């Protein structure tokens, strides 16, 4: 699918792409389609119910082909990163901790032989998919959409056979739900410290699972309400195992909410928008139009992106610049005297660790990211390992990285100037990094990423089979076969 296809569907709703996000198109703003942020408006009626009605009635047949394709790419990328993280120590710890308490062996774990009940399987695959910070990203909100949603519904699909078409429709509905709810409160909600993938992701998991369970409108209202009661994730956890806990817990919590609601466990009918509901409690911004307007015509799924680098997106422009300078200018680490960066404030706020001690901490260090990209010409999971963080050449170079918060630099931009020992200066300005909506990863790029992540976890033939099944998702009679094919024999 081309970028033009995605832009045409986005533009149909009176919106245009700018800086990796959406802004009102010319004329739409003048017509009042989007107002500047201001004091909270009077609560519109029935936000939760409007969303529930859409989720319970939207059909696969009505999904535009570009949306189906992007959802398939989302699923492929998610399976790849879940396989890649399946033998990380984080997952080893979680599996060992939960195994004694698991219920029936209902669902698989990617890359592993253990089987768990669907609630724990949803949690563990969600954790695995986020360990490397290599998962998909909705750039408007920095939500990682697939982790909470796909983890929940694939576990359910192993217990009850689900067709690929039904699964794909539910995946889109889950992504739309969590991203629209995220839009309504971002950035204020995120700025105060909430990890929005967990807090909004639980709604996506509940919506998607509830749709596959056949919940009616009232039951879906309750499922969304029960999801609202389970926000999970604080940004203080970044740099620890707790960060990947958040999408995993969101997946399990959403599945839990849908199961309870399906049996008649009630909630308030306005848990998202009520005065003491989710949005007013956890954010100073509430733009409910983001949730209800354009349902079925404007698709947040089309704004999903996939990472070429295994870390937070705020570092991607700088990594892109470093790799370009290394490759195009043949710059080596021993030639470098100083690396100056002009960055957005979020870069230092989120990734300001100057001396990371582990690979996990390295994902939150702009100093490490730039240094390792120049030394090794890449920033995959191997470059965010304990080995890479402790490499003397990388350590020496990261001490020469000087990021400076600069007015006018957008989050998706960077200006890099590398001063060499001979006095020469090499510069790069990145407006849109590779992997953004404007410069998306191709299908071939995603396949290479998948194979790299699966290397060492499963045989090449098995990885190819799983990847081919992901591409054929809409044709599959039983999506649970993907989970079973991706488990360790």
Q: Regarding beta strands 336-343 and 304-305, do their DSSP bridges make them parallel or antiparallel, or are they unpaired?
A: unpaired
Q: For residue 109, give the nearest of 455, 486, 467 by alpha carbon.
A: 486
In terms of C-beta density within 10 A (0-12 exposed, 13-18 middle, 19 or more buried), how is residue 256 classed?
Answer: buried
What predicted TM-score, i.e. pTM, was given to this entire model? 0.88
What residue has token string 């600069």? Answer: 406
**Domain boundaries in the chain?**
3-308+457-485, 313-430
Task: Note whether 462 and 59 are within 8 A (CB).
Answer: no
pLDDT of residue 148: 98
Residue 12 structure tokens: 């149909």
- DSSP three-state, residue 347: helix
Residue 407 structure tokens: 């007015």
Q: How many helices (H) and strands (E) does the chain have?
A: 22, 10
Task: Note whether 171 and 150 are within 8 A (CB).
Answer: yes
CA distances for 168 relative to 113, 117, 177, angstroms: 26, 23, 14
pLDDT of residue 29: 30
Assign a CATH topology to domain 3-308+457-485: 2-methylcitrate dehydratase PrpD (1.10.4100)
What is residue 381's DSSP assignment?
G
Sequential pLDDT tens for the chain (489 residues): 444 355 445 444 333 333 333 333 333 333 333 444 555 556 567 999 999 999 999 999 999 999 999 999 999 999 999 999 999 999 999 999 999 999 999 999 999 999 999 999 999 999 999 999 999 999 999 999 999 999 999 999 999 999 999 999 999 999 999 999 999 999 999 999 999 999 999 999 999 999 999 999 999 999 999 999 999 999 999 989 999 999 999 999 999 999 999 999 999 999 999 999 999 999 999 999 999 999 999 999 999 999 999 999 999 999 999 999 999 999 999 999 999 999 999 999 999 999 999 998 999 999 999 999 999 999 999 999 999 999 999 999 999 999 999 999 999 999 999 999 999 999 999 999 999 999 999 999 999 999 999 999 999 999 999 999 999 999 999 999 999 999 998
pLDDT of residue 41: 55
Strand pairing partners for 427? 417
Domain 313-430 has CATH 3.30.360.10: no
Residue 357 structure tokens: 């001690």
Task: Note whether 200 and 329 are within 8 A (CB).
Answer: no
Half-sphere exposure of 418 (CA within 13 A, CB side): 25
Task: Note whether 250 and 232 are within 8 A (CB).
Answer: yes
Q: For residue 467, give the nearest of 459, 116, 304 by alpha carbon.
A: 459
Q: Phi and psi (nearest 5°) for 254?
A: -65, -40
pLDDT of residue 43: 55
The Cα–Cα gap between 108 and 466 comes to: 14
Q: How far is CA 399 from the centre of its chain?
A: 30
Asked if 3-308+457-485 and 313-430 have one fold, the answer is no
Strand pairing partners for 338? 419
Q: Regarding beta strands 336-343 and 401-405, do their DSSP bridges make them parallel or antiparallel, or are they unpaired?
A: parallel
The Cα–Cα gap between 170 and 60 comes to: 9
């Amino acid at each position: 699918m081309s970028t033009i296809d995605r832009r045409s569907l986005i533009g149909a709703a009176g919106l245009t792409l700018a800086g990796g996000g959406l802004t009102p198109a010319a004329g739409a703003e003048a017509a009042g389609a989007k107002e500047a942020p201001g004091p909270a408006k009077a609560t519109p009626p029935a936000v939760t119910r409007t969303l529930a009605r859409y989720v319970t009635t939207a059909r696969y047949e009505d999904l535009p082909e570009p949306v189906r394709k992007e959802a398939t790419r989302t699923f492929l990328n998610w399976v790849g990163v879940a396989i890649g993280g399946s033998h990380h120590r984080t997952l080893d710890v979680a599996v060992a901790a939960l195994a004694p308490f698991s219920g029936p062996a209902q669902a698989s774990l990617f890359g592993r032989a253990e089987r768990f009940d669907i609630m724990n399987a949803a949690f563990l695959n969600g954790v695995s998919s986020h360990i490397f910070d290599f998962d998909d990203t909705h750039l408007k909100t920095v939500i990682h959409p697939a982790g909470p949603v796909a983890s929940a519904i694939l576990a359910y699909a192993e217990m009850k056979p689900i067709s690929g078409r039904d699964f794909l429709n539910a995946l889109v509905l889950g992504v739309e739900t969590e991203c629209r709810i995220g839009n309504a409160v971002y950035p204020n909600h995120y700025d105060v410290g909430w990890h929005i993938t967990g807090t909004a992701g639980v709604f996506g998991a509940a919506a998607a699972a509830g749709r596959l369970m056949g919940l009616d409108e009232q039951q879906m209202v309750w499922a969304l309400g029960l999801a609202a009661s389970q926000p999970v994730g604080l940004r203080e956890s970044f740099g620890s195992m707790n960060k990947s806990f958040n999408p995993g817990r969101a997946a399990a919590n959403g599945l839990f909410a849908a199961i309870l609601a399906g049996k008649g466990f009630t909630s308030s009918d306005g848990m998202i928008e009520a005065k003491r509901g989710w949005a007013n409690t956890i954010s100073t911004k509430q733009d409910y139009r983001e949730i209800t307007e354009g349902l079925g015509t404007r698709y947040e799924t089309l704004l999903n992106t996939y990472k070429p680098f295994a870390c937070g997106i705020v570092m991607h422009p700088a990594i892109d610049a470093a790799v370009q300078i290394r490759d195009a200018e043949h710059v080596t680490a021993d030639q470098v005297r100083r690396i100056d960066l002009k960055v957005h404030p979020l870069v230092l706020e989120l990734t300001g660790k100057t001396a990371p001690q582990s690979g996990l901490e390295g994902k939150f260090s702009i100093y490490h990211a730039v240094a390792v990209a120049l030394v090794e010409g890449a920033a995959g999971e191997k470059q965010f390992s304990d080995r890479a963080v402790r490499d003397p050449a990388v350590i020496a170079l990261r001490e020469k990285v000087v990021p400076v918060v600069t007015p006018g630099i957008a989050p998706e931009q960077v200006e890099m100037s590398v001063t060499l020992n001979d006095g020469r200066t090499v510069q790069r300005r990145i407006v849109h990094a590779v992997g953004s909506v404007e410069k998306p990863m191709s299908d071939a790029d995603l396949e290479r990423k998948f194979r790299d992540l699966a290397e060492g976890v499963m045989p090449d033939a098995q990885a190819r089979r799983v990847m081919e099944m992901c591409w054929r998702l809409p044709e599959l009679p039983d999506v649970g076969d993907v989970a079973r094919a991706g488990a360790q024999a």
